[in-house]
Amino acid sequence: MLDYETLKVIWWVFIGVLLIGFALMDGFDLGIGTLLPFLGRTDDERRVIVNSIGPYWEGNQTWFVTAGGATFAAWPLVYAAAFSGFYVAMLLVLFALFFRPAGIVYRSKIADPRWRNFWDWGVFIAGTVPAIVFGVAFGNLLQGVPFRYDAATMAVTYTGSFWQLLNPFGLVAGVISLAMLVMHGATYLQIRTEGVIEQRARTAAKMAGIALIALFAVSGIWAAFGLWGYRITAMPATGSAFAPLAKTVAVTPGGWLANYVTYPWMTIAPIAAFAGAGGAILFSGWGRARLAFLCSAAAVASVILTAGFAMFPFVMPSSTDPNSSLTVWDAVSSHRTLGIMFWVVVLMLPVVIAYTAWVFRVLRGKITVEHIRETTHTSY
């Protein structure tokens, strides 16, 4: 079995892969949901857009479920603290996502325009609200979450409220997340549609990409010079098992830049984020849909990596008591648990990826209004 320290880092990588996988796979579903009422001007056009994600969204959403399950198993302290600090926000995401299966499945069951319009806006809510909330959550992680552990009982206490999450930096991060996923969804629509819908998707991708570049730059400057970062000044050996309060944490101006100074190769992530968004804009304008989608995917992954690299080894910093902050080293399950789950992931993740690739290969191709009209019994 791998040593405990190595497994801790491996599971940081695994959780990151699952989060990026969710953003890449379900991210374009969310982005398309946001775009649905605006890119589809007629009922047939909206049906084309819905059918572009109809066969995939359930499978794509499993990345989100898997990421939550993996966090519970590998980082139980993070799972517990997150459900205390972000409980209302998570419920908001859950309730918003209720609209997606109902909207996709039921919108075409009744021909009444009022019925279909209602579910179209429901799909819009299901795409927009989670995208913003996920970004707000990341923005608040970079600022620190108001929780602490009791030294005697190790009970976690959250002292904040839902409204405190809606601070300026958190809201900027939320808009970045929305712009990122809208860009991703628009590039995917360019692959699956044609005609006026594809043209509108190109315009949407360019607008969202420009917004992403501008706001990502603003947030980077803000995080570097306007936020205080966290660093560990003393702790037990990283390969040992210890509680969060066993370490000492300092909070310093510009602390989130420390990893980029120590490991300059990490700057690849923000550079790739800007380059990917720029590529998505350019290739969308040139009508190269697949290249635009690949660049968009690179931007999505790189934005998440930028935050992850800046925070490492912190997973959930505490603004109330920095020593209570949860890190890769002290928020994890036992050595045996991480070892067993490691082999489960090694065996099962390639199967999931292969199956997903097969599904997309089988269901590839353009969706047209004519196709929708001819296959009313199988389309959404």
The domain spans of the chain are 4-374
Cis, bond preceding 313 (omega within 30 deg of 0): yes
pTM for the whole structure = 0.92
The residues, ordered by sequence, that sit 6+ positions from 39 with a Cβ below 8 Å of its Cβ are 45, 49, 189, 197, 200, 201, 204
Cβ atoms of residues 240 and 4 within 8 Å? yes
Supply angle C-alpha 31, 317, 78, rounded to 5: 70
Specify the pLDDT at position 376. 64
The residues, ordered by sequence, that sit 6+ positions from 348 with a Cβ below 8 Å of its Cβ are none
205: number of Cβ within 10 Å = 32
Closest CA to 182 of 285, 333, 32: 32
Tell me the CB-side half-sphere exposure of residue 276, using CA atoms within 13 A.
24
pLDDT tens track, the chain, 380 positions: 789 999 999 999 999 999 999 999 889 999 999 999 999 888 888 999 998 887 787 778 888 888 888 898 899 999 888 887 788 888 999 899 889 888 888 888 888 889 999 999 999 999 999 999 999 999 999 999 999 988 888 788 888 888 888 999 999 999 999 999 999 999 999 999 988 999 999 999 999 999 999 999 999 999 988 899 999 999 999 889 888 999 999 999 988 999 999 999 999 999 999 999 999 999 999 999 999 999 999 999 999 999 999 999 999 999 999 999 999 999 999 999 999 999 988 888 888 888 888 878 877 778 777 777 777 655 67
Longest Cα–Cα distance in the chain: 68
In terms of phi and psi (left: phi > 0; alpha: psi -120 to 50; beta: otherwise), the region of 145 is beta
